[in-house]
Structure 1
Amino acid sequence: MTEVQIRGLSKRYGRRTVVDGLTFDVPAGAVTGFLGPNGAGKTTTLRMLVGLVRPSAGEALIDGQKYQQLAHPRRTVGALLEASGFHPGRSGRDHLRILADAANLPAQRVDAVLDEVGLVEAAGSRVRTYSLGMRQRLGLAGALLGDPGLLVLDEPANGLDPAGMAWLRALLRRRAAENRTVLISSHVLAEIAQTADRIIIVHNGQLNHIGPVEPDLERTFLKVTGAGHAG
């Protein structure tokens, strides 16, 4: 069981504040949707959580520890923040083998995650031939390699067709049912409404709303962010 604790988290770039004093928890056994307009600070928050960006203030903790302090990061956290960073000349299977070897993970996990994300038939093909949706699935396979207790995903449905989105929804719900933790940032409110148990909405880098998913998520989002008054 892995939980996330965000405490007074801030990030400034010069005079610009991107994340401003965020404090919230992400519990195990649930899918938590992390929402906000473009530029709200969502991706920066997730990048601080997984140690890619240094906070200006506050802490992003995973079971009370910073990502850099985790004894086995890939066994604890699986992250997909962008479906890129693939060598176009490598096969999907070789890409995952390299990740598994670097993290000291069992080689058999490669075939297991290829099967889980539906890429067995394409595993021997070079990544340059993959569609955007296939690259997204390969990124998810990388996140799942360590069979982690926490998944941190930024726009994971990007490039997926309706069948792929239904598959992703089932995957995330299954992880939550296993008492794991899922934190997912997305602009697709209809998908979050079907997938998430609870939502966190940020706007201008600040926490604006936290609670269970409500029947009319779009209305809640527009009301909280003030977007419904635009135009």
Structure 2
Amino acid sequence: MWVGFSKSLGGGFRVGVGTRIGGRSSRRRSGPTQAQIAKLEKAQFIKNIAEESNQSLQEYLVNNNIDPVFAERKKLDLDDLLGKGDTASQYQKFKASISEVNEIISKVNYGGNLTASRKDRLVDLVFELREIVGESGPGLNELATQISKKSEKTSIITFSVFLSIVAVLMAVGSFVDDKPITGIADVIPLVMGTGFVAAILYLPAHLVIKMIAKVKYNRQAVAKTKQQYGLA
């Protein structure tokens, strides 16, 4: 089973449903017909199932220490990575479920009817995928959580440092201007000004730190994938 996320899921799972509501005629103002509404609802249902399955696939890979972006870029065959050893049994269950989702959606997209039994089966399969994902362990999710917590902690520290620096600079500035702080009336503007400047500085600093954290996660995720599966 090959990996593809942007347009396909394992084994060529593609979903491309476009539905137009209403005609072009300016004379027609009665709105969409029941048939058109039903067609739109069908397309939306298929789209939701596809997105849910895609999300489950990515989470399943992450939980098995496979970076999804790296897997897609390198066109990794999951059968070679997960189809043997301790992960084989669970992987075969996941593969069977997502392959059945693929098969049903392919038939519907080709022109088959989205019957009540097919809808029920797709919903059951989505929940089966969720259950398997839940049993597959934290994997790279744990790594992402650790890096996220560190980045948040760093952001708070950075904010505190900015706040302290601005406060000191403003205090020094008041003494340079021969206007020493003599009471609470002088403190309030200082605190408000410090908070305002620090708030302005915090957002770009926070975004930069989050970007660095994302880059760090991507590198570690790829490294962990290569290490676990012996990839060059």
> TM-score, normalized by length of structure 1?
0.24
Higher RCO (CA 8 Å, separation ≥ 6 residues): 1
Larger Rg: 2
Q: Identify the structure with the greater helix proportion.
A: 2
Q: Identify the structure with the greater strand proportion.
A: 1
